[in-house]
Structure 1
Amino acid sequence: MSERGAGFVPGLEGVVAAETRLSHVDGAAGELTVAGFPVEELANRATFEEVVYLLWHDALPDAGQLADLREALARRRALPRATLDLLRAAASEGTPPMDALRMAAGTASLRAGDASADGDAAYEEALAVVACLPTIVAAYRLLLDGEEPVDPDPELGHAANYLYMLGGGVPGDGSVRALEAYLATVADHGLNASTFAARVIVSTGSDLVSAVVGALGALKGPLHGGAPGPALDVVFEIGEARRAEPVLREKLGRGERLMGFGHRVYKVRDPRADVLATAAELLYATDGDAALYGLALEVEKTAVALLEEHKPGRNLQTNVEFYTALLLHGLGLPTELFTPTFAVGRVAGWTAHCFEQTERGRLIRPQSEYVGERDRRWLPIEER
């Protein structure tokens, strides 16, 4: 019999480690509630700034509050010279974008040095880190391509600015609306790995910027935030609809996982996939490659059918990764920016969880169960 007690739960699966008003994931029903709103209700209407305000204040902003938040973020988007110098050095070494983002995010503390209007240092840090993340990602992308970063436009909102700073000029309304839907959809999702990491760090009394840097480290792991790119790679590999079934059948026969399908929590279709499917349909109808969109739909249909054939009863449906890849590709983002762009949206949730955890004032300090040797005796080195 194992020495492990009944209290040990690998991966903490099913263990409740926090109370939160921010979001609720119902995997059995396929529902995601964000601050009281079904994700479908929120993502199809809200701007990113409205989602940030909602998560931080538990209410939708009025016109004045929204204008104040937009102005506060706009004043903090430009990067300090030290941040740009760091990004230039990283680009010269060909550092992957998520590593560059993790390193540069810590410099948000340089922008958070001045106290906010109400003297709340954590709120100032949150404004600084939310504002600078898209600027960091966009600037680094251009530096990798040997181009100079584009300064943020104070007249543009958060989503529009991100697309603008990527070097494509002022984006159209359709592209902005698609990105708004994406950022709102991924803003928060229960106590996932990166959110838990942020809450653990801030529970120690550490600062909010450090918590976000820790969350970025967790998000970088392929088991958490690194899968949207491969989901699209399969579509490109297939190339044409008639190849979908033989290619996917061969992959399943080799025991490969089909990226973009199935989810650890959702036992039915991922509700975020439905939101992003709608956003992708609207985007590709006006600004995207209609042939690619049609191919992706055929791949999705074939994959779901084959997964049911190979793994009956598992109900492996399309997840958020599949339509994330399709949507972000349609917006002109390269695959290496998919996970950094996820972070641009998820930082709204990370910062909100930090506020919530700080209010609790409780150090997160779980126990471990010792399974090692006991009663060992020290041996001098000549006797080992």
Structure 2
Amino acid sequence: MVDQSTRLTTREAAERLGVKPETVYAYVSRGLLTSRRATGGRGSTFDVKEVDALARRAARRPGDDAPGAGALGAIRTGITLIDKDRYYFRGVDATELAAHYGYEEIAEWLWTGAMRPGTRFTAPEQTLTAARRSVAALPSHSGPMDRLRVTAIAAAAADPLRFDLSPEAVLGSARSLIPALVDALPPAGRPHRGEEQGKAQREGQGEDRLAWRLWSRLTERAPDDASLRVLDAALALLIDHDLAASTLAVRVAASARAHPYAVVSAGLGALEGPLHGAASGLAHRFLAEVLERGGAAPVVADHLRTGRTVPGLGHRLYPGDDPRAQMLFRLLDTLPRAAPALAAARDVVETAARHTPLHANVDLALAVLSVSSAMPAEAGETVFAVARTAGWIAHALEEYAEPPLRMRPVGHYDGPKPPQPLP
């Protein structure tokens, strides 16, 4: 006798698979599921293990009915491809793009498909005033990520057209939001105040680039061309990296037709997790300790002894070198003051990889930049967040063109079987 407790009705099977009941029968006709008549001959039943196995398979096939649980298995995107030890923006090697163009130019190209050399992003005065006032109202101990999140909200409130989701309107919002995120941050080492006095001077010297303005928010040290080149390359390399956790959060928000500022807010929220954007801060503190103690061996040993992993090493998507780290290390090699931090990073890699092959990732490269430039530990996360905002906008534009609410998975309920008594 078949144990009916291990079998599902057609509707239960459909809910687990995230499809309509008719699609369940289509799966049966294609040999993907096996059905049996229910006791009493009413309807069909399905083996729960077989249904769950089908639910775990790869993304749903094009042509299946309304999206459900399987819709999150694989999301079609034309933005970023990660292939072995390289990655590509719209089919072009991302490191080659970063070698020839600046962050703002690549962002514009990623959004529109048109490369416009010399592109600069500026925020409207109304947006910037609202953002700076909001940031200034935060407690003194607030960190850069707090300021970025508040800036996104203030910029949204200042834009009455934020609910217009046409591509032109979304791009207009993006071109003002990204510079607002940077310009609303207080300059490093002194109280936040207006910058009208220095604005004309910067523009007269061609220093209106986003990288220059961000540099002044991260360190009191005066920038040179080589240092700004590293920072601009870091921004360009970090624009996107396929469907990372924050990008998935962005696409879910865009699927619900949230406006672009809310979409970016969703990305910033996910980015702040210790396993995502904050990883560069851990690498910064680790590298600083290596420099302080004169070598990687004792610091690596302390981390391993307390059950911690060595930050800045390895990446789940790259079996070998992280191409972003490779390029940044090459650029950092041209900075004389980065030599000690760069040597410490190489010592970390050599020490930690004695038994198991490990490679430096972009977080370690960001740590070399921040440590050698007297930036705070949070600098890498700030660079990451500003850079990734352009990628989030690109994914939002893609998602706005898809059917709404397609990012609605179906929960696989495994609680007490109803009906249960009223508590």
Tell me if TM exceeds 0.5.
Answer: yes
Gaps of at least 5 residues in structure 1 are none
1:264 is matched with 316
Contact 2:250–2:267 (8 Å) recurs in 1: yes
Q: 1:186 aligns with which of 238, 245, 249?
A: 238
- Residue 153 of structure 2 is matched in structure 1 by 106
| 1:76-155 aligned within 5 A | 76=124, 79-92=127-140, 94-113=141-160, 120-136=168-184, 138-139=185-186, 146-148=191-193, 150=195, 153-154=202-203, 155=206
Q: Over residues 168-205 of structure 1, what are the superposed CA-to-partner deviations in whole Å (9 max), with x where a residue is unaligned? A: 48732112211111001101100111111111111112
Instruction: Report the secondary structure of 2:138's partner residue.
Output: helix
Separation in structure 2 between the aligned mates of residue 113 and residue 377 of structure 1, nearest angstrom: 49
Question: How far did residue 293 of structure 1 move?
Answer: 2.7
Find the partner of 2:262 among 207, 210, 213: 210
Which residue is equivalent to 1:30?
85
Shift in CA distance, 165/79, structure 1 to aligned 2, threshold 3 Å: farther
Identity of aligned residues (%): 30
Tell me if structure 1 keeps the 8 A contact 2:151–2:180: no
Residues in 2 aligned to 1:303 and 1:14: alpha-carbon distance in whole angstroms:
39
Where 2:130 maps in the other structure, the secondary structure is: helix
Aligned to 1:58: 113
User: Structure 1 residue runs of 4+, over 6 Å off?
Assistant: 1-4
> Taking structure 1 as the reference length, what is the TM-score of the superposition?
0.82
Aligned residue in 2 for 1:20: 77
Q: 1:291 corresponds to which letter in structure 2? A: P
Alpha-carbon distance, 1:55 to partner: 0.8
Query: Number of matched residues?
Result: 355
Higher helix fraction (1 or 2): 1
Among 225, 229, 241, which residue is 2:281 paired with? 229
In the alignment, which residue of structure 2 is the partner of 1:44? Answer: 99
Q: What's the counterpart of residue 351 of structure 2? A: 302
Aligned residue number for residue 416 of structure 2: 373
Match of 2:329 in 1: 277
Cα deviations by residue, 1:252-303 (Å, 9 ceiling, x for unpaired): 2443200001222222221111111112212x23xx2433332232222222
Which range is displaced more, 242-251 or 336-345? 242-251
The answer as to whether partners of 1:181 and 1:276 remain within 8 angstroms in 2 is yes
Taking a change above 3 Å as real, the CA distance of residues 246 and 329 of structure 1, as seen in their structure-2 partners, is closer
Name the structure, 1 or 2, with higher relative contact order (CA <8 Å, separation 6+): 1
Structure-2 separation of matches of 1:56 and 1:342 = 18
Distance 1:281 1:149 in 2: 35
> In the superposition, relative to structure 1, how do residues 77 and 166 fare at CA in structure 2: closer, same or farther (>3 Å)?
farther
Per the alignment, residue 42 of structure 2 pairs with none
Code of the residue aligned with 2:299 in structure 1: it is V
Secondary structure at 1:265's aligned position in 2? coil
The structural deviation recorded for 1:332 is: 3.7
- Higher mean Cα deviation, 181-190 or 98-107? 98-107
Q: In structure 1, what is the Cα distance between the partners aligned to 2:81 and 2:238?
A: 13
Larger radius of gyration: 2
Q: What RMSD in Å do the two structures reach over aligned CA positions?
A: 3.1
1:161 Cα deviation (Å)?
A: 2.2
In 2, distance between residues paired with 1:77 and 1:162?
A: 18
Check 1:356–1:264 CA distance in 2 against 1; reply closer, same or farther (3 A cut).
same
Q: Which residue of the partner structure matches residue 161 of structure 1? A: 213
| Structure 2 residue identity aligned to 1:227 | A
The letter for the 2-side match of 1:19 is R
The answer to whether the Cα contact below 8 Å between 1:241 and 1:295 also exists between their aligned partners in 2 is: no
Structure 1 residue 60: Cα displacement = 2.4
1:112–1:124 CA contact under 8 A, matched in 2: no
**1:329 to 1:250, Cα distance in 2 relative to 1, 3 A:** closer
1:245 aligns with 2:297: yes
In terms of mean alpha carbon deviation, does 353-362 or 234-243 score higher? 234-243
2:386 to 328, 333, 344: 344
5+ unaligned residues in a row in structure 2: which ranges?
1-5, 7-47, 58-68
